[in-house]
C-alpha cells in the first residue's frame, strides 16, 4: 500500500493508486504510460525508466477496486497515459 497515497487523473477524474508494487525491470515507456508487462501485470511507467505494478485503484466517485475488476469497466485505461 502506498502511503501517503498517490494520485493522478484519468478521463478528467482523480484516480488514487491505493496498492502497487515496484517493478525494477527497465522499460522504454513514457512517464505516466500504462502498459502490460510480459507477465500480464498492468504497469504505470515512472520517470526512471522503471514502473509500478498497479494492484488496486480508487476512481473519484467510485469504490476502491482491484485493477482487474477496474479494467472490466474501463478498457481504455490499459493504453492510457496519465498526468
Q: What angle do CA 21, 14, 41 make, to 5 degrees?
A: 30
Segment-wise mean pLDDT, segments of 10 residues, the chain, 83 residues:
77 94 94 94 96 96 96 95 90
pLDDT given for residue 5 in this prediction: 73
What is the model's pTM?
A: 0.90
pLDDT given for residue 29 in this prediction: 96
What's the farthest any 2 CA atoms get from each other in the chain? 34
pLDDT given for residue 83 in this prediction: 83
User: What is the CB neighbour count within 10 angstroms for residue 46?
Assistant: 16
pLDDT digits (tens, 9 = 90+) for 61-83: 999 999 999 999 999 999 999 98
Residue 11, φ and ψ in degrees, nearest 5? 50, 45
Amino acid at each position: 500500500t502506498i502511503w501517503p497515497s498517490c494520485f493522478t487523473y484519468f478521463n478528467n477524474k482523480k484516480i488514487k493508486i491505493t496498492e502497487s508494487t515496484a517493478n525494477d525491470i527497465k522499460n522504454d515507456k513514457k512517464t505516466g504510460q500504462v502498459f502490460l508487462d510480459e507477465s500480464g501485470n498492468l504497469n504505470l511507467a515512472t520517470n526512471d525508466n522503471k514502473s509500478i505494478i498497479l494492484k488496486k485503484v480508487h476512481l473519484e466517485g467510485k469504490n476502491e477496486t482491484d485493477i482487474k475488476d477496474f479494467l472490466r469497466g474501463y478498457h481504455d485505461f490499459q493504453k492510457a497515459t496519465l498526468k
